[in-house]
Amino acid sequence: MEKHPALGLGQLRGLEGRDESKKLWLKLTRVVNNISGPTRPMKSWIKYWADKKSTVRSKVQGCGGDPNSLCSNIEKKIWDVFLANDNSRTNRGAVKQESHYTEDNFFNEDSMDQNHVESDPVLAFEEPVADAEERQMAVMEKLVKVMSDQAAAMTQLAHASHVNAQAMERLAEASHIQARAIERLANTFDTISAATHDVRNAIVDIDATMKRFYSTSPT
């Protein structure tokens, strides 16, 4: 931006000036979006720059034209490079002069050379509070989503544990029924064994009786 003060002041006019402005802003947008910080479309960066200059000018004018009232280095840089010799304009005039940048037909980025890469250094912008709040809200939303997913997973785990406990109860009940059936079967075998023993004893008694009968019969 320091290399193109006319761009920073919105002084590129006419058809050629508008084309040059579009090319320079597109290059600047690509460079700024490739460094750490917020990523914006070209239209948003142009509006941010116009608003930033307007804010700096308002602060200086509100303090009687004293640039020492500016707190941040970036605001002092903007004043020294772009506004110190241009402070005769009002805020309204400054915004109006750059309003042609925000027209829709100015932002047809598809018509630009998409393969161009800008390597020149650019003026670093301070991130507005709104962006920090938006990022914080996005982080909070992600945190809430993660916690919600975790709660859902815990609910599913509890349900699976309950189903598993019910299955174990049914298995224990089936094992108990099987044990009772085996016990009844064992009792049945004991009964059969006792009956078999009684039948054997009865046969032995019958055999002994028959032998005594035949041994005492006359020949």
Mean pLDDT of the chain: 76
Is position 150 within any domain? no
Tokens of 140: 């909070």
Residue 56 lies in a domain: yes
Higher pLDDT, 65 or 175: 175
Question: How many Å separate Cα 170 from the centre of its chain?
Answer: 41
Amino acid identity, residue 17? G
217 assigned to some structural domain:
no
Number of domains in the chain: 1
Q: Please determine, for residue 34, whether its predicted confidence score (pLDDT) is greater than 90.
A: no
Domain residue limits at 98: 5-127
Q: Is residue 184 part of a domain?
A: no
Q: Is the pLDDT score of 208 beyond 80?
A: yes
Of 157, 184, 181, nearest to 173 by C-alpha is: 181
Asked, for residue 211, whether it belongs to a domain, the answer is no
Q: What is the mean pLDDT of residues 2-31?
A: 82
- Which of 85 and 87 is assigned the larger pLDDT? 85
pLDDT in tens, 152-200: 899 999 999 999 999 999 999 999 999 999 999 999 999 999 999 999 9
pTM for this prediction = 0.41
Within 8 A by CB and 6+ apart from 178, the residues are none
Q: How many CA atoms lie within 13 A of 78 on its CB side?
A: 26
Task: Give 125's contacts (C-beta < 8 A, 6+ positions apart).
Answer: 32, 37, 48, 49, 52, 74
109 within some domain: yes
197 in a structural domain? no
Instruction: Say if residue 60's pLDDT is above 70.
Output: yes
Q: What is the pLDDT of residues 119-145, one digit of tens each?
A: 343 444 444 444 566 667 777 778 888
Q: Regarding predicted confidence, which is higher, 99 or 15?
A: 15
Could you tell me which of 54, 22, 32 has the C-alpha nearest to residue 125? 32
Asked if the structure places residue 35 within a domain, the reply is: yes
Residue 80 DSSP one-character state: I
Residues 6+ apart with CB under 8 A from 7: 1, 20, 21, 24, 25
Looking at residues 73-92, what average pLDDT do you find? 68
pLDDT category of residue 87 using cuts at 50, 70 and 90:
very low
pLDDT, position 138: 74
Please count the other Cβ atoms lying within 10 Å of the Cβ belonging to residue 97: 15
